[in-house]
Structure 1
Amino acid sequence: MSASEAPYKSFAIAGAGPHIGLPIVQAFLALNVPILVLVRPTSTSTSTLPLADPNLKLAHVDYADTPAVSALLRAHSVDVLISAVSLVTGGVGAQTVLADAARDAGVRLFVPSEYGTPTRGDKSGAGLPKDQFAEYLTSIGIPWLRLYCGLFHEFVPWLAAVEETGKFLIVGKGETPNSFTSIPEVAQYLAHVLTTAPPSRLANTELRIEGQRATLAQFGALFAPSRTVAHVDALPLPAGDFRGFVQAKFEIGAGSSGWDCVTETDDAELARSGNALWEGHRWAGVGEVLGLQ
């Protein structure tokens, strides 16, 4: 194996929040792989990190300071920079700074904050900032890896407004299959492929994974013993809540990892095409993850 095809060895992550960032850190540590965690100087969330693990390296740095981030990445000879910053709370700008710093530091691969439904070609929806950022990475010459996984299993009750209404609410029929994957498996999958697959298999690649392919109606049946399942025209939620928009997308299959934003079509085989890189893994279903079985 040539040196350029040897698996990546040095990893860093920006955005170690509870939803996906922290699980990614935990996944690397579970493999006994060191990981550098970039934390803003004002962050108060470091208490959730497993600071006693000798493979965890913590570095406080201003995400808006390109030279400082670049110097840090260079000092640690980082091969792969993973972004798990929230795009809802200012992460779009932060990712651009991180990308510039990664380029200047000679980082070999940038994993942008995706971890959801496909965004390539989304020129008008919620995925637009993610697609624009991927284009930016290409424009500055940084190889990227985009990971699509559908909706997290853990977010299904949120999507159906279970907590707010005490019911499992479905906008429309809810009979279109979409992709769902558990948070730990998304994190573990990413750590696995980054530490085992050759760079040529990952650079400038979209990996599409699917823990379970199912419909909201099928999930509603799992909740039925304890919750009323109701089909509604709209969710009774405050103005500005976007769950109704998300469910409308799922009604046409746009929640599938195999969705094509340009043609607005779904490919069930494509949706789980990336699963093959985690050979022998048994993927969990939402019933198992949420304790509904």
Structure 2
Amino acid sequence: MADPIKKVAVIGASGNLGKEIVQELLKAGFEVTAFAREDSQSKFPPNVTVKRVDYQSVDSLTSALKGLDAVVSAIATVAIGSQTPLVDAAISAKVRRFIPSEFGINTRIAGGTAIGNILQGKVKTLDYIIGKSQENPWFTWTGISSGIFFDWGLQFGSVGFDKRTKTATIYDSGDEPVQASNLPFLGRVVAAVLSQPEKTANQYLSVASFNPSQNQILKIVEAKTGEKWKVEHASTAEQEKIGLEKLSKGDYSAFSNLLRHRIYADGAKRAVEGEDNAIGLLGLQEEDLAATVEKWLDE
């Protein structure tokens, strides 16, 4: 049996997802090191070691990674391409596990699509990691697809529900189930992956807190508030058209439009249910959709 993973570096530890990963790793008993740029003003919990690094320097990163067992990258999508020096440094420092910034849609099945082209940084990074793992069998990886960030999306409106105006935007029929994960849940997923290194080595895992349809969410918000919400119907085909037009002009805000088409279109089949949801492998359980929605309404 391989030695347990105990010492973990988190990249992007001050971000929305990174903060939750750090908290859940600490709760699970891991020793956490947060990497930050030299000029970063980010604050971290007192029980987290902070190392200042140059993300473009393999030497700087290698030095910071010495003695650590795993790297978890939670950097934002716009910075995805900068993970290659981190991968090279991890190998140089003999880090045993790399979890890249895959969180979101499954990039392994997005090839050849417009949204897949936007995510080429993620695709190429994981391809690079897999290649390096094959060259260095002791260097392992785990990819984690989470679907949409549900609790974050409720808070910032990207899920299509506005509690101030009691308005819901429903795409197509609103009956299509969608892969969705809460941020703290993803922190627990990462902790579970690293707690079971042999079981999760060199695997691409799709997880979800739950797989709600828009109409299920609408039913919950109306029941909780005791009011009928105003429903605005929209077309995912129109969203795709808008996204492609933006993309043709180099406007990468097209991602949001293309994502709506990809996940909400009737027949999209992007949910991860039953055995497709890797939480069973990890020893985790689905979360309570109604409890998540109600908590957001009460905040």
Q: Find the partner of 2:65 among 62, 73, 76.
A: 73
What CA distance in whole angstroms lies between the structure 2 residues aligned with 1:158 and 1:37? 28
Number of corresponding residues? 268
Q: Find the partner of 2:20 among 23, 35, 39.
A: 23
1:263-278 to 2 correspondences below 5 Å: 268-278=273-283
The residue aligned with 1:170 is 170
Counterpart amino acid of 1:140?
Answer: K
Q: TM-score if structure 1 supplies the norm length?
A: 0.81
Counterpart amino acid of 1:271?
Answer: D
Cα offset, 1:165, TM superposition: 7.3
- Structure 1 stretch displaced more, 96-105 or 124-133: 124-133
1:84-233 to 2 correspondences below 5 Å: 84-88=74-78, 91-123=79-111, 124=113, 125=116, 126-141=118-133, 142-154=139-151, 155-156=153-154, 157-160=157-160, 162=162, 167-195=167-195, 197=196, 199-224=197-222, 225=227, 227-233=229-235
Counterpart amino acid of 2:193?
Answer: V
What CA distance in whole angstroms lies between the structure 2 residues aligned with 1:37 and 1:107? 15
Q: Secondary structure at 1:144's aligned position in 2?
A: strand
1:2-81 to 2 correspondences below 5 Å: 2=1, 4=2, 6-46=3-43, 49-50=44-45, 52-53=46-47, 56-74=48-66, 77-81=67-71
The residue aligned with 2:288 is 284
The unaligned stretches of length 5 or more in structure 2 are 134-138, 247-252
The residue aligned with 2:73 is 83
Residues 219/181 of structure 1: CA separation in 2 closer, same or farther (3 Å cut): same
The residue aligned with 2:136 is none
Does the aligned pair in 1 maintain the 2:221–2:294 contact within 8 Å? no
Cα offset, 1:87, TM superposition: 1.6
The unaligned stretches of length 5 or more in structure 1 are 259-267
Counterpart amino acid of 1:283?
Answer: E
More helix by share: 2
Q: Secondary structure at 1:145's aligned position in 2?
A: strand
What CA distance in whole angstroms lies between the structure 1 residues aligned with 2:257 and 2:161? 10
Percent identity of the aligned residues? Answer: 25
Counterpart amino acid of 2:292?
Answer: E
Cα offset, 1:82, TM superposition: 0.6
Runs of 4+ in 1 over 6 A off after TM superposition: none
Q: TM-score if structure 2 supplies the norm length?
A: 0.80
RMSD of aligned alpha carbons: 2.7
Residues 243/217 of structure 1: CA separation in 2 closer, same or farther (3 Å cut): farther
